Amino acid sequence: MPATIFRKGLDLKHDVANDLARDYHSQLVEKIKESDYCWKSGRLNIYLAEDFGFCYGVDRAVDYAYQTRRRFPKQNVFLTGEIIHNPHVNSRMREAGVRFLSDKHETLNNLTPEDVVILPAFGVTTHELSQLEQVGCIIVDTTCGSVLNVWKAVRQYSVDRYTAIIHGKYHHEETRATASKALDSSNGRYLVILDKREASLVCDFILEKTSPEQFLSTFSTACSPDFNPKTDLRQVGLANQTTMLMSESLEIGDMIRQAMITRYGEKNLPKHFRAFETICSATQDRQDAVTRLLHKRDFSLAVVVGGYNSSNTRNLARICSERVKTFHIADASCLISTTEIRHHQLATAMPAHSTPAQSEMTTHDWLPAIDTLNVAITSGASTPDNIVGKVVERLSELATLD
């Protein structure tokens, strides 16, 4: 039997609304928003960015997952992997009886047509979707619309014989899914680059400064099968993992564009270079909002709340760290005491693909003992408001103790 696919919810939005409010909303955060995003307690002044937390795509994905569990109470319900990059939300999924196919003891091979599989907001690869469709199981697709826009772009690149250069993290679920869409056409090719350093290596090859062997020694695991840089880097189209840092994506695009102009001449640029802006609006809104906030006043420190494996949260921390001492924490439990905090290492100080456990560190004497403590707070697009609310409460407690 062909798979049954739900892509617009399951008509149970109102039925799960109270459950979502109970699990993820915060009355304190609502009060702070109503008070011009400012909250004061003794010497502590909290300032929230005007855009933070759950974006539309994340909210929709979690909503659909709750609807799925309600619609199919007696059937096996699976997620292909984390629905979003937030440990608390994924824990709630497990508590509701949702199983994760990414767990070691689970396997897609054991699925039956009666089973229900939720696709996460990041989407899944073409191969994974094909496997699920062959099983004939029930599929609930929560893939974010911004991600679908990226897929549309890279598919068009492949049809037109342009290699998709994707600014992203090769092991990230979204980037793997996007790369697979570049291969939907037999002409498709892709290359994933992480940062400006890797972009400069691509530019060096375009400008004939390095050999194919040198190039492939760096990118052998981040490009399509049988990738030939001599032919596959003649025509390229730019795309992004939707949660990357906008400013860096633009710089990378400019670097490759200029290399193509130098190599082939400006009048021939359209034959060799295309660019399609694929940073999602919610990611950009959160980056812009925290930038505006940090320009408004001097802050004692900034706290960024969200999962350590959340790309958009990490990038918010990068933005903040350029202006003020910044701590990226998972939740309120990281605020151990006035003298001790657990937090994620900034991206510049750690391997790009390290695991959450490897990336956490402890800092001492982190909370300044000053009369007025101004703290900027934001959170990633996968962080629910109740986690932010608990962080504000814990900060208030610690500021009183100090």
Same structural domain for residues 89 and 47?
A: no
Provide the CATH number for the domain around residue 128. Answer: 3.40.50.11270
224 pLDDT exceeds 80?
yes
Residue 111 located in a structural domain: yes
Residue 254 located in a structural domain: yes
Residue 30 located in a structural domain: no
Q: Give the mean pLDDT of 291-308.
A: 97
Same structural domain for residues 169 and 120?
A: no
Residue 211 located in a structural domain: yes
Catalytic residue ranges: 174
Same structural domain for residues 302 and 372?
A: yes
Q: Out of 279, 303, 329, pick the residue that ends a domain.
A: 279
Q: Give the mean pLDDT of 214-223.
A: 95
For β-strands 360-364 and 373-379, DSSP reports them as unpaired
Q: Give the mean pLDDT of 265-282.
A: 88
pLDDT at 24: 97
Task: Determine phi and psi for 5, rounding to 5 degrees.
Answer: -120, 125
In 55-120, DSSP assigns E strands to 77-79, 99-100, 116-119
Q: How many CB atoms lie within 10 A of CB 23?
A: 17
Same structural domain for residues 72 and 183?
A: no
Same structural domain for residues 383 and 299?
A: yes
Helix runs in 183-321, H state only: 196-206, 212-219, 229-232, 246-264, 269-272, 281-296, 311-321
pLDDT at 358: 54
Give the integer Cα–Cα distance in Å for 256 and 83: 33
End-to-end Cα spacing for the chain? 64
Residue 363 located in a structural domain: yes
Q: Which residue has the tokens 């496997």?
A: 131
Same structural domain for residues 206 and 293?
A: no
Same structural domain for residues 49 and 63?
A: no
279 pLDDT exceeds 80?
no
Same structural domain for residues 334 and 384?
A: yes
Q: Which residue has the tokens 């420190």?
A: 301
Q: Which of 67, 286, 315 is nearest to 172 (CA)?
A: 315
pLDDT at 73: 96
Average pLDDT, the chain: 93
Residue 240 located in a structural domain: yes
Q: Out of 98, 115, 143, pick the residue that ends a domain.
A: 143
Question: How far is residue 84 from each of residues 12, 116, 255, measured CA to CA in Å?
Answer: 21, 18, 32
Going 232 to 234 to 235 to 241, the CA torsion angle's sign is positive
Domain span at 215: 146-279
Sorted by sequence, the CB contacts under 8 Å of residue 193 that are 6+ apart come out as 165, 166, 167, 168, 199, 202, 219, 222, 252
Going 251 to 252 to 257 to 262, the CA torsion angle's sign is positive
Residue 16 located in a structural domain: no
Tokens linked to 131: 């496997």
Q: Are 256 and 221 in contact (CB under 8 A)?
A: no
pLDDT at 247: 87
Same structural domain for residues 70 and 99?
A: yes
Q: What's the length of the chain?
A: 402
For residue 392, how many C-alpha atoms fall within 13 Å in the half-sphere facing its CB?
26
pLDDT at 230: 96
For 110-148, how does the pLDDT look when each residue is reduced to its tens digit (9 = 90+)?
999 999 999 999 999 999 999 999 999 999 999 999 999
Q: Out of 232, 254, 279, pick the residue that ends a domain.
A: 279
Q: ∠ CA 281-177-273 to the nearest 5 degrees?
A: 70
pLDDT at 353: 43
1 pLDDT exceeds 70?
no
Question: What percentage of the chain exceeds 70 in pLDDT?
Answer: 96
Q: Which of 71, 275, 63, 80 is nearest to 167 (CA)?
A: 275
Same structural domain for residues 50 and 95?
A: no
Provide the CATH number for the domain around residue 388. Answer: 3.40.1010.20
For 64-88, how does the pLDDT look when each residue is reduced to its tens digit (9 = 90+)?
999 999 999 999 999 999 999 999 9
Residue 26 located in a structural domain: no
pLDDT at 355: 46
Domains in the chain, number: 3
pLDDT band at 281 (very low <50, low <70, confident <90, very high): confident
Give the integer Cα–Cα distance in Å for 61 and 144: 8
Same structural domain for residues 266 and 319?
A: no
Same structural domain for residues 190 and 103?
A: no
Q: Which pTM value belongs to this model?
A: 0.91
